Amino acid sequence: MTAVPRTVRINNPVPGLDEDPDDFVGYELLVDFIRRRALPDLGGDIVEIGAYKGRGTAKLASLAQEYGRTVYAVDLFDPTKDTTISHSGVSACEVYEAFLNGRSMLDAYLESTGGFRNIVTIRDDSTRVVFAQNQQFFFGFIDGCHQEAYVEHDFRLIWPHLVSGGVLGLHDYRYHDWPEVTRAARKLMRQFAEEIAEAYEIEGKYGILSLLLVKR
């Protein structure tokens, strides 16, 4: 049996990480990781499940634009649909709505991404999304519904389309509020151990980790 790859912690803060209050991930770190590993040279596009206000989507699109690539953003843009209950007893939809402060999530997303022509917005539940057989991605990021079944589904949706050497990230890894994300991630790491070359943890905004898995 192939052992699960050892997870390496990366602590490499980049300038501007805390300057965008609507970026809850720290997309500058993801962009920096993509550049350092020259992932666009592998071919393919970028996919993101869970776009929220679109601040991160815009940052990924800016990078993709340099290489003539596309970002596929999947989201229902309806905060009431994520009913995951956090460790503290608060639902995900309550968290989203608190930060939206009465504003439409879709309106916020469109404002953030309106200047880009290389974004394909898929306004649907990720469980109903199917990518073309020949679609390839060099980077994928999962930060949609925080339920274990959704995390597993979203991984299985993207992974077959990920090129060799490509990277798939999962936000909220080992974050106490969303334990289902961690359970799903660890299960997937065991199940796909033979296909995972490396695993990294990157500490983003508010000390929350993203798990990045490199495909063999």
Which CATH number does the domain housing residue 106 bear? 3.40.50.150
Instruction: Identify the residue whose tokens are 């939206």.
Output: 100
Is 1 domain-assigned? Answer: no
Is 134 domain-assigned? Answer: yes
pTM of the model: 0.94
- pLDDT score at 205: 86
- pLDDT score at 2: 52
Sheet containing 209-215: give its strands across: 7-10, 196-203, 209-215, 162-173, 137-142, 45-49, 71-74, 119-122
Q: Which domain holds residue 44?
A: 7-215
Contact status, residue 168 vs residue 142, Cβ threshold 8 Å: yes
- pLDDT score at 9: 73
Is 2 domain-assigned? Answer: no
- pLDDT score at 87: 85
pLDDT in tens, the chain (216 residues): 455 666 777 765 666 666 787 788 999 999 999 999 999 999 999 999 999 999 999 999 999 999 999 999 999 999 999 999 998 899 999 999 999 999 999 999 999 999 999 999 999 999 999 999 999 999 999 999 999 999 999 999 999 999 999 999 999 999 999 999 999 999 999 999 999 999 999 998 888 999 999 999
Is 120 domain-assigned? Answer: yes
Instruction: Identify the residue whose tokens are 């490499």.
Output: 12
Q: For the chain, what is the domain count?
A: 1
